[in-house]
Chains A and B, each alone.
Chain A
Amino acid sequence: MRGISHPTSGAVGEFFSKRLSMTMKLAVYFLTTGLTLLTLPCGSFTEVPSKPSGTVTVLPPVHPAGGPQAFPNAEKSDLPVFAMNYSRIQVPFEITLWVLLASFAKIGFHIYHKVTFWVPESCLLISIGLMVGAIMHAVHEEPPSVLSYNIFFLYILPPMVLDSGYFMPTRPFFENIGTVLWFAVVGTLWNSIGVGMSLYGVCQIGALEVQDINLQENLLFASIISAVDPVAVLNVFEDVSVNEQLYIVVFGESLFSDAVTVVLYNMFTFVAEMPVVETVDVFLGVAKFFVVGLGGLAFGLVFGFVASFTTRFTSNVREIEPLFIFMYSYLAYLVAELFNISSIMAIVTCALTMKYYVEENVTQRSCTTIRHVVKMLSSISETLIFFFLGVVTITTEHEWNWGYILFTLLFAFLWRGLGILVLTQIINPFRTIPFNFKDQFMLGYSGLRGAVTFALVFTLPDHIVRKKLFVTATICIILFTVFIQGISIRPLVEFINVRRTNRNLDTINVEVHSRLMEHAIAGIEDICGQWGHYYWKDKFMKFNNQILRKILIKDNQAESSIVALYKKLELQNAMEILDTVSEGTSTAPSVISLRKEKGPGKPKRKFVAADLRKMHDILSKNMYKIRQQTTEYTTKHSLPNDSHTKEILIRRHGTIRRSLRLRSFQSPTLSGGGYPSAPRSRIGQPSRSSSRVSLPLRRLDTLTEVSSSAGVDLVDERSGGRGRAGGRGKSRLNSSSSDSRVPAPPCHFDSSEVFHGNRDSMPEQEEPLSLSVTWAEEPSDHDDSSTQNPLLRRPRWNPVKPKNP
């Protein structure tokens, strides 16, 4: 559940809320199902909503036999006091109900964690759909036929693709771009053609009664079922933190295979109508493929750059900043559709380009809004599709043909497995880190089919004779892969013990040395005259820094990732200090504290409210911008867990430190009594708790500086979530301004594109406090105007030393 909980809720409250939500959920199910059923007799929906039929009728004016009359003699009817006009609202109403129903279902699933752990959400959605479908079937009703070709392609698909594109982890993607495209494009082609040909061969067997399916239709069907949608698998991968390469290849493959499938679908639909296919057509097809792909790329880039440029000037219209993002990406999609080029490529490229620049230009709130909305829209789309799939499974007429369907399943798996093997063999020599057999198996096993496949087959043009058979076969394969592979992937991953990424905490050393290594490699490549990966990356970064950033980003301040990481670590340290000293504080009613008060054994940490207010006053006058960059992640069903916080950029002002130092010296001591005496010996102590307690007041400088009240949008969505285990308080500073929320202890911090943080080195961050005494000879550090390094803060506490600002 969310991180906000009522202070008084105890176990009993939780028990009741659980029961209550279960009952409520059931009640809502029945209610909505009932309402849905009620709507059905009102007729199926057409794309154009029918005109409202009021209960008041006005007859045309009747001219009496006499002269002209001023007013028509209308028939008088009573003013309706209560009228029901369902057909007018039918469409939006039904859609809303469905989405609401599915969302309730999701709430329900998450009550039982075990369920979502083992069973992927797509399975659950399909199951709900199946249930609703069964109910509908029992009362002999038809589901509203909302899914048409245009509706799917214009309204439902773009959000899903935008979601994948926007949250794609860029660095691993570009490092593995060759592999990703290889598997996606060539793999999908291989699958389509292979399965299509084999099925055509099978069709020749008379016994199966499918001889009327010609080659084009087989190819069309095969291309539809080659689109993979491994959302469930990606969730598991992320949880288990499999190695980055496998993850990104599966992720990228799903995205681009959708693109390829759509292109093939359009091509083959066109071809299926042609009586004869000539060689010329084949060549034209290949050419079209390239045009479509590259054209999509170009369009996406153009729109992405224009969008970034626009956001440079939006500082005065902050409320509609997210709108630009959505409008531009949707526009990219539509314009690509206009020219019949790959709209998926366009929108993905647009999102990728935009993300980097826009997130620097736009305020933190807009950033968050964008992310939320993208997730929401894609969630709606996916929900609708899977739900619909469940319903359609029960309610349509199926054409069952054992042979064809079984062969479809067989060939799909066979060709995918074969494809992966062959393709990996070819591409492994070109890879830095080759794929071993376990990786390949996982890759093959993640070929789940999903939403796109279903939608494509459902919206096949009706002139395809065996459409029903295709629909049945597709539903079979989707159900099979989603349920069986989706559920079994988790134990399999553990069992096979796939190579995992090191998700250890990034320390400064690791960061410095990896940068060093990258530069060294680039240098060697230059010396040897090679054009390697790092050569291009270097060139691009140079271009980026010199030209692109200047144009597209306002207020350009290029910052090295090392410096950013350092500042972030400093911030983390500072916030942790803040956290320890303000444990147990409740300054204002809206302070939210999840952790219970520790026992009386804890040393005194009285922090007077007046101090807090004073600090907030100071900080509110100064400008801080702490920004979180996009966390990449894949699940369509949840937002990034902000315990995986990425880079945080901080802008400081030197003056603040000085002024704060002055004030903090004058405020009452932080941790009561014996503190000023012999801090050195204290610091040398081993136990963590003591080093926390005996914090010199000076350390407050850093923490208060960075935890500003105004202008800081440290939004912490999942603060109550996992990972923030005991030992860290959840207290928050409050201030009068509404948007200040210092998040709870920053547990997991890592630099970009690392998935999880490791908490173990947090203690190590504490140690520097104690070790600072060893750096004896550093007088140059000790000047007032420079920024003091909190990690090296010396425990020299001199209460009488005035600091002149």
Chain B
Amino acid sequence: MSSRTNRWRKTVSLEQINNLNKRFRQLSSNKETLSREDLASIPDLDNNPIRLQIINAFFDKRNLSQSEVGIVQEIGFEEFLMVLTHFQPAAMDITEDNREKLRRTKLRFLFNMHDTDGNGIITLEEYRQAVEELLSKAGTIAPETVKAIADAAMLDVASTTRGKMEPDEFYEGITFEHFLQILKTLDIETTMHVRFLNLDTANMRCGK
């Protein structure tokens, strides 16, 4: 168990973990491990434009531990929880250091969602992919617009982080540090969290 899960466990109650366990069992049809198909069959997720990326995030080794890269096929409850720790709320009395760490963790999650090939850099192609998926449910968007938006965003990053560039220079992609820099106005440590309720809503819904 990682220290992060440990820390998180202090902020959630036993009941919440029990509920999550029940939900896990429900999703995995009472097997020990969860596979992609189990997650993909949740009907509510269909409306989510980035459902594939979210599902992949659960099986992404980078979210499960700090050092490895790659994809696993199945996850157990521990790993399920570990992914969910990314969404823990910031405690009221959190110190500045911890706040920064929490921020990095959450931004790392988002970064990993983009960086599908795992090389630590978000390239233009990957960004375009992400924007296209994001806009896919929002009505018909011309592909040029998508490209244009992604390009504009990359340019924005490049200009913020690299400043002036020579005409022949090439900007390879967004590294994690750049990512942190451009998103520093986003209050992510407070807004990106899911509150796990004590109420057992897993059984309240019909179907998965």
Q: Specify the chain B residue showing the minimal Cβ separation from A538.
A: B47
Q: With A510-B182, A525-B194, A528-B20 given, is the CB distance from A563 to B141 under 8 Å?
A: yes
Near B by CB (< 8 A), chain A positions 513-528 give 513-517, 519-528
Contact pick for B196, options A528, A569, A684, A786, CB 8 Å: A528
Is B42 touching A516 in the complex (CB atoms < 8 A)? no
Residues of B within 8 A of A509 (CB): 153, 156-157, 182-183
Please pick, from B131, B156, B170, B186, the residue contacting A514 in the complex, using a CB distance under 8 A: B186
Interface mask (A787-798 → B, CB under 8 Å = 1, otherwise 0) = 101011000000
Q: Are B155 and A792 interface neighbours, CB within 8 A?
A: yes
A526-B42, A774-B167 known; A507+B182 contact, CB < 8 A: yes
B138:A558 contact, CB within 8 angstroms: yes
Which residues of chain B come closer than 8 Å to A792, judged between CB atoms?
A: 148, 151-152, 155
**Best-buried of B139, B152, B153, B159 by chain A (most CB within 10 Å):** B152
With A509-B182, A516-B50, A775-B151 as contacts: A529 and B202 at CB distance below 8 Å: yes
User: Which residues between 493 and 548 of chain A lie within 8 Å of chain B, taking CB atoms?
Assistant: 502, 504, 507-510, 512-517, 519-532, 535, 538, 542
Q: A515 → chain B, closest Cβ, in Å?
A: 6
Contact stretch, chosen from A45-53, A605-613, A635-643, A762-770: A762-770
Cα–Cα, bound, A538→B50 (Å): 13
Q: Specify which of B109, B130, B149, B166 lies most central, judged by the most chain A CB atoms within 10 Å of its CB.
A: B149
| Residue of A433, A522, A529 with most chain B CB atoms under a 10 A cut-off | A529
B148 touching A768 by the CB < 8 A rule? Answer: no
Query: Which A residues touch B50, using CB under 8 A?
Result: 516, 519-520, 523
Contacts of B141 in A (CB 8 A): 560, 563
Among the listed B109, B186, B205, which residue makes an inter-chain contact with A529, where contact means beta carbons less than 8 Å apart?
Answer: B205
Range class of the A interface residue count: 35 or more
Interface pair A781/B147, CB less than 8 Å apart:
yes
Specify which chain B residues have a CB less than 8 angstroms from the CB of A557 in the assembled complex.
139
Which residues on the A side are within 8 Å of B92 (C-beta)?
428, 434, 436
Give Cα distance in the complex from A223 to B145, angstroms.
Answer: 56
Closest residue of chain A to B158, judged by CB?
A771
Q: Which residues of B contact A558 (CB under 8 A)?
A: 138-139
CB-CB contacts below 8 Å: A414-432 with B = 428, 432
Number of residues from B at the complex interface, CB < 8 A: 70
| Contact residues, B164-207 vs A (CB, 8 A) | 164-171, 182-183, 185-188, 190-197, 201-202, 205
Tell me if A502 and B185 are in contact (CB < 8 A).
yes
- Min distance, Cβ B165 to any Cβ of chain A, angstroms: 6
Option from A433, A515, A532, A770 in Cβ contact (under 8 Å) with B164: A770
- Chain B: CB-nearest residue to A775: B151
C-beta contact mask, B56-82 vs A, less than 8 Å → 1, else 0?
010000000000000000000000000
From DSSP, what is the main secondary structure of chain B's interface residues? helix
Chain B residue at minimal CB-CB distance from A566 = B149
> In the complex, which residues of chain A have a beta carbon less than 8 angstroms from the beta carbon of B134?
512, 515-516, 519, 560, 562
User: Which A residues lie within 8 Å of B54 (CB)?
Assistant: 519-520, 523-524, 527
On whether the beta carbons of B159 and A767 are closer than 8 Å, the reply is yes
Interfacial chain B residues near A566, Cβ < 8 Å:
145, 148-149, 152
Whether A524 and B167, one on each chain, are in contact in the complex, defined by CB atoms closer than 8 angstroms, is no
B51 part of interface (Cβ distance < 8 Å): yes
Closest to A430 in B: B195
Docked complex Cα distance between A464 and B22 (Å): 62
Set of chain B residues within 8 Å of A428, measured between Cβ atoms: 92
Within 8 A of B (CB), among A659-682: 680-681
A559 within 8 A of B: yes
Closest chain A residue, CB of each to CB of B169: A774
Complex Cα distance, B194 from A509, in Å, reads 23
Closest A residue by C-beta to B188: A517
Are B164 and A787 neighbours in the complex by a CB distance under 8 Å? no
B96 within 8 A of A: no
Interface presence of B44 (CB below 8 A): yes
CB pair A510–B186 under 8 Å, yes or no, is yes
Chain B hits for A507, CB < 8 A: 153, 156, 182
Residue interface bits B96-124, CB-to-A below 8 A is 1, else 0: 00000000000001100100000000000
Note all chain A residues with C-beta closer than 8 A to B49. Answer: 519
B127 to chain A, nearest CB (A): 9
Give which listed residue, A508, A530, A542, contacts B194 with CB less than 8 A: A530
Point out the residue from B20, B168, B170, B192 that lies within 8 Å of A521, measured CB to CB.
B192
A177 at the interface (CB under 8 A from B): no
A703 at the interface (CB under 8 A from B): no
B23 x A508 contact (CB < 8 A): no
Taking a contact as CB atoms closer than 8 A, the residue among B23, B170, B183, B197 that contacts A774 in the complex is B170
Q: Are B144 and A787 touching (Cβ within 8 A)?
A: yes
Complex CA gap A529/B207 in Å reads 10
A776 on interface, CB distance cutoff 8 Å: yes
Contact yes or no, A776 B45, CB < 8 A: no
Q: Mark A542-586, 1 if CB is under 8 A from B, else 0.
A: 100000000000000111101100100100000000000000000
Q: Which of B23, B109, B168, B195 contacts A532 (CB 8 A)?
A: B195
- A455-486 residues at the B interface, CB under 8 angstroms: none
Contact A526 B170 (CB under 8 A): no
CB-CB < 8 A to B202: which residues of A?
529
CA distance A619 to B130 in the complex (A): 35
Indicate if B87 sits at the interface (CB-CB under 8 A). yes
Residues of B within 8 A of A559 (CB): 138-139
Verify if A683 is at the interface (C-beta below 8 Å from B): yes
User: In the docked arrangement, what's the CA distance between A510 and B144, Å?
Assistant: 21
* B14 contacts the other chain (CB 8 A): no
Q: Is the CB of A527 within 8 A of B42?
A: yes
Shortest Cβ distance from B193 into A: residue = A432
Q: Which residues of B contact A527 (CB under 8 A)?
A: 27, 39, 42, 45, 54
Q: Which residue of A is nearest B164, CB measured?
A: A686
Q: Chain A, 37-67, contact with B by CB distance < 8 Å: what is the 0/1 string? A: 0000000000000000000000000000000
Inter-chain pairs besides A509-B182, A524-B84, A681-B167, 9 sampled, C-beta below 8 Å: A508-B156, A519-B49, A524-B87, A530-B196, A559-B138, A770-B164, A771-B155, A774-B158, A789-B147
Q: List 6 A-B contacts (CB under 8 A).
A: A510-B183, A517-B191, A520-B53, A520-B57, A566-B148, A771-B158
- B residues sitting closer than 8 Å to A (CB atoms) are 20, 23, 26-27, 39, 42, 44-45, 47-51, 53-54, 57, 84, 87, 89, 92, 109-110, 113, 130-131, 134-135, 138-139, 141-142, 144-145, 147-149, 151-153, 155-160, 164-171, 182-183, 185-188, 190-197, 201-202, 205
Top 3 A-B pairs ranked by shortest CB distance? A560-B138, A767-B159, A523-B54
